[in-house]
Structure 1
């Protein structure tokens, strides 16, 4: 542009994207090839923090059973045990979640299903293309 070129009043930019639900909130999913700064899924990060905190509390001997801990935390035993399962995730997967590098379909809800016991199986099924 030169000084003689007039500046347009409006500029229209088209960015193709889809709206998806993740962890109870809506998020924009850009088309293939577009890059965006990913943010960690707050629900997943919060659940991981709770899981590792509860695990430490159980391992320290402060609580003899999961039921005692659930009563202290005023939550259902089933919820506590479901969240505690997150401590069995592969370290690479935990790191990806904390950094926001998990795939869009990986949510707290999706982790309620069957998860492979072995870390390599978790990485293959939950973080495809990282091995």
Structure 2
């Protein structure tokens, strides 16, 4: 590997998109990360200017690589490694708003169900099957 390229799994880990390098490798292999619109392997080298589509949990990030790093540093340094597109930021904010509205429309119960309520829930679920 030359000094102007880094493995994609190392870069994703250094940029703090994934907590461990193993998880980054798994996500790349699973097709959750695309480089320049193509599915890639974890050993693929990234360069400055490459565009990545990263799907993490329910969020999609579209970023352009602005700097390379093989080692994980602080979060402030990690944020300088990429530039997220405005469309990506807007779509993530819209998705967050939708999730908040969905959570507000189905509030959590005040307490856990007691024994009688649990039995009713079990009976109700069995009727649906």
Higher strand share: 2
Structure 1 and Structure 2 fold alike (TM over 0.5):
no
Report the TM-score range of the alignment, normalised by the length of the smaller protein. Answer: under 0.3
TM-score, normalised via structure 2 length = 0.22
